[in-house]
Amino acid sequence: MELESAATKTLTSRERTYVWKRFKKQWPLHVFVGLGMVFLLIFSYTPMFGIIMAFKDYSIVTGIKGIFTSDWVGLRYFEEFVNDYRFVELVRNTLVLSFLKVIFAFPAPILFAILLNEVKNMAFKRFVQTVSYLPHFISWVVVVGIAFSFLSTDIGILNKLLVTIGLIDQPLDILTGANYFWGLAVSSAIWKEMGWWTIIFLASIAGINPALYEAAQIDGAGRLSRIRHITLPGIKGTIVVVLILTIGSILGGGLVGSNFEQAYLLGNDINNSTSEIVQTYAFKVGLADGRFSYAAAIDLIQSVISVILIFSSNTIAKRVSGSSLF
């Protein structure tokens, strides 16, 4: 509101009364906006002061006050992380896992929505849709428990089945093998979140004017070409917005999220070389060891990469499709 009044200073009195009148008319909406801004201010902006910890020699025994009183050390912790013997591996794991999720997890709900849209039996369609989005409500801890009973070398149903029908001699170490981790993480994330994101694309498809399909049918367009020329262009805007959101949160796992949960819960000493990501590393060496400054520096590096990614994806989206977030 202060900002608003500052902006009105340069206005003439007639314009001012006009603005005031409009504001009076819209006040309930402004209350909503204001509340949202207060929320952001308290929970998103205020804690950001803590970031200065990354540049300070902070010791936890000095308490919250210590964040402000401890000595500045410049980029010491950033250097320490960049020179860490695992730095390259950690960044690689983070990026590979994130990009794999964009490549495989992003198109999955779009394809699934289109498939569902082609199903003519409403009862079946609804059933499939409900079943597919239910896993969204299960926490990762439970999902990992389920994964264990399906995939472990010892009691896993899948391994038992494959061995019994003779496809493999030795059970596959899906849960512990370093080579399996990325595939496991991406596929379990798709299994868990695909159905949920399908809802939005289905809604988008529902908004397409049915007359277009009828016209195309009369013109002799088959199913595939109707999908290609009507459905896909019809939901293009939605796809772009979701894509930008995905890339904005790419290092957290994008659309399907949960990089941290997966790396933390599915990671173990054996698959560590592929499962340890920047966030879990910050969690382990930073929090458990009480080195909050170092943890803050590590996460800040990741945030910088994220910001770069979201701006570039937004620019690319604007150029390619004409729609963008900002």
Partner 1 sequence: MNKSSFGKGFILPLTIMSVMALSACSGANGDSNANSDSGNAAASSENTAAGNTNTSTDTAATSSGDAEELTLFINHSWYPVKDFTGPIADRITEKTGVKLKVTVATDDKQLPLMIASGDLPDLIFSASDIDRLSNANISYSWNELIEKYAPDFQIDATRIAINTMKDGNFYTIRNAFATEEEWKANQYALGNDGNPGIAVREDIMNELGNPPMKTLDDFVNILNMVKEKHPEMVPLIMDKNWIEQYFMGQFGIDTGIGNWYESEGQVNYWLKHPKAQEFFLFMNSLYRYGYILAENFAHANDQIDDEYAVGGKAFAHSHTVSVADRDNISAKKNGAAYTFKMIPSALSEEKVQVSTGIGWSGTFITKKNKNPEKSIKLMQYLASDEGKKLTMFGIEGEHWTWNEEGYPNLKYSTADSDFVNGNGIKWWFLYSDAIVEGLWGYVPGTQTTQALIETKEKTVYKPEIGLIQVQADSAEKTIKTKIDEMVTNEKVKIYLAKSEDEAAKLFENMLKTADKIGLAKLDDWANKTYAEKKALFK
Footprint of partner 1 (CB under 8 A): 59-64, 80, 84-86, 137, 139, 152-154, 173, 175-176, 196, 199-201, 203-209, 211-212, 234-235, 237-238, 241-242, 268-273, 276, 283-285, 287-292
Q: CB nearer to partner 1: give 100 or 171.
A: 171
Q: Shortest distance, CB of residue 69 to partner 1, whole angstroms? A: 12
In whole angstroms, the minimum distance from the beta carbon of 265 to partner 1 comes to 9
Give min distance, CB of 16 to partner 1, in A. 33
CA atoms within 13 A on the CB side of 9: 6
Q: Are 148 and 175 in contact (CB under 8 A)?
A: yes
Q: What angle, 0 to 180 degrees and rounded to 10, lies between the N-to-C axes of helices 292-321 and 236-248?
A: 160
Shortest spacing between CB 136 and partner 1, in angstroms? 8
Cβ closer to partner 1: 182 or 276? Answer: 276
Q: Which of 98, 67, 5, 43 is nearest to 310 (CA)?
A: 98
For the CB of residue 63, give the shortest distance to partner 1 in the complex, in Å.
Answer: 5
Name the minimum Å distance from CB 246 to partner 1.
Answer: 12
Q: DSSP per residue over 92-127, as a string?
A: HHHHHHHHHIIIIITHHHHHHHHHHHH---HHHHHH
- Alpha-helical regions (H) of the chain: 2-8, 13-25, 27-40, 66-69, 76-82, 87-100, 107-118, 122-133, 140-151, 157-164, 181-206, 210-218, 223-226, 232-234, 236-248, 259-266, 272-275, 278-281, 292-321
> Please, which residue, 15 or 289, has the CB nearer to partner 1?
289
Please identify, using beta-carbon distances, which residue of 10 and 326 lies nearer to partner 1: 326
CA torsion through residues 43, 44, 49, 51, sign: positive
Residue whose structure tokens are 């320490």: 80
Q: Which is nearer to partner 1, 175 or 189 (CB)?
A: 175
**Cβ distance to partner 1 smaller for residue 60 or 307:** 60
Q: How far is the CB of 150 from partner 1 (least distance, A)?
A: 15
Q: For partner 1, which is the closer residue by CB, 104 or 196?
A: 196
Residue 249 token pair: 């949160």
How far apart, in whole angstroms, are the C-alpha atoms of residue 309 and residue 326? 14
